[in-house]
Structure 1
Amino acid sequence: MLELINICKTYNQRPVLAALSHRFAPGEFVAIMGESGVGKSTLLNLIAGLDTPDSGEVVVDGAPISALGDDAATRLRRSRMGFVFQAFHVLPHLTLQQNVALPLLLNGQDAGAALAMLDKVGLTGRGGDFPRQLSGGELQRVAIARALVHRPALVLADEPTGNLDPETAAGILDLLRAEIKASGAAAIMVTHSHAAAEKADKTFVLSRSGLTLTPHGR
């Protein structure tokens, strides 16, 4: 459902991604590692259509994102993608239930599934709480619930455990993997953490030469 075709991207006359091509399989949980500045977060932004490559194509569900107008690209992100960020991006003025319900409301779906999703990530009975009442690990659970509640085909995670202690991070990654597999979504996780990458089905290293598969595998 996702293919990168000869993606090139340059910032300030410095090549970040050069002729990058890869096809990601449906239902696969992939980790992408690499040195700082190599273009890992840039790659996620290109896949999401939040940035545009200088050349090449990002193809989602058989359609090049570059062929979509702004409104169509927004609808694609809203309906087919879920996002998990290092900084959580949970809205502080909304309850947990309201935060998780946002993708459902934006997609015209029944918001009642938000409470069930909070149950699945271990936050039963916390729907009326506000983000200020939660720990970092609990906030990331809310972020995972929000990313998956509308059953996206593709989940993009940018350093999802970077702000968490190792024990909490391990639990969050187990949860993320379990929920991704249960929903049948494909997932791409950018991380600096080898422990995080071990939770994925496959791990690639991004470099100037492209994506290289590591020996790791489940």
Structure 2
Amino acid sequence: MLVLDQLTKSYGGRTVLARLSHTFKAGEFVAIMGESGVGKSTLLNLIAGLDTPDSGQVIVDGAPMAALDDDAATLLRRTRMGFIFQAFHVLPHLTLRQNVALPLLLNRRDAGRADEMLAAVGLGGRGADFPRQLSGGELQRVAIARALVHRPALLLADEPTGNLDPETAEGILHLLRQETRESGAGAIMVTHSHAAAAMADQVLLLTRSGLKLA
């Protein structure tokens, strides 16, 4: 499903990732752990095509991301991927329901599942609220609902439980596990939480020398 081939990325003269290679199997839930600054979020951005490597390539379903033009890359992200950002990126001028429904509308699909996903993350009945009315943890749950709503083939999650209390985090992790299993999706989750990582099929450690089993 996903192949990383000799990925290298530097910022301001500092190499973050160096000749990183790994193959992720279809339908596998993988947690990636590692020290701060080692390049975990950078890796997710490269996989999603939100950033470009200095060398090497990301291959999704046999297609190199670098071979796609902007429109094709955007279409791939819209239809095949779901991304949970650390910074949420919830749109402030849209209601919660509109935020969650956005991937469905962009893919010209019925928006009814937006209410179902809001309920699944504990925000049922709040679809008409706006992001300014929510706490940080609630905004994170909106971002999670939005990433899952269109049943993506690949879920990329950057610290999805970072703003949640332990009880809520456990429920969200079970939701991620359930949704990906039911749809046969792959998932790559960056986390500092050992409890979150325990939900994964496989835990990898990202170091300066690459990815290895934790």
Where does residue 61 of structure 1 map in the other structure? 61
Where does residue 72 of structure 1 map in the other structure? 72
Where does residue 149 of structure 1 map in the other structure? 149
Where does residue 162 of structure 2 map in the other structure? 162
Output aligned runs, 1:1-218, within 5 Å.
1-214=1-214
Deviates more, 1:163-172 or 1:61-70: 163-172
Provide, for residues 39-89 of structure 1, a one-character-per-residue CA deviation record: whole Å limited to 9, x for no partner: 111101100111111111100111000001111111111111101123322
How much identity, in percent, do the aligned residues show? Answer: 78
The SS at the match of 1:129 is: coil
Provide, for residues 121-142 of structure 1, a one-character-per-residue CA deviation record: whole Å limited to 9, x for no partner: 3433322222344444433332
Report the count of equivalent residues. Answer: 214
For 2:119 and 2:183, the matched residues in 1 are separated by 15
> Scaled by the length of structure 1, what TM-score is found?
0.91
Provide, for residues 102-161 of structure 1, a one-character-per-residue CA deviation record: whole Å limited to 9, x for no partner: 011111222222223323334333222223444444333322221111111111111111
- CA gap of 1:127–1:85, structure 2 versus 1, over 3 A, is same
- Structure 2 counterpart of 1:26, one-letter code: A
Instruction: Give ranges in structure 1 of 5+ residues lacking alignment.
Output: none
Instruction: Give ranges in structure 2 of 5+ residues lacking alignment.
Output: none
The list of structure 1 runs, each at least 4 consecutive aligned residues, that deviate by more than 4 angstroms after superposition, is none
Provide, for residues 188-209 of structure 1, a one-character-per-residue CA deviation record: whole Å limited to 9, x for no partner: 1111121211111111000111
> Scaled by the length of structure 2, what TM-score is found?
0.92
Asked if the contact 1:86–1:163 (Cα under 8 Å) also holds between the matched residues in 2, the reply is: no
Provide, for residues 3-49 of structure 1, a one-character-per-residue CA deviation record: whole Å limited to 9, x for no partner: 10111112222221111111111111111011111111110110011
- CA gap of 1:182–1:121, structure 2 versus 1, over 3 A, is farther
For 2:120 and 2:36, the matched residues in 1 are separated by 34
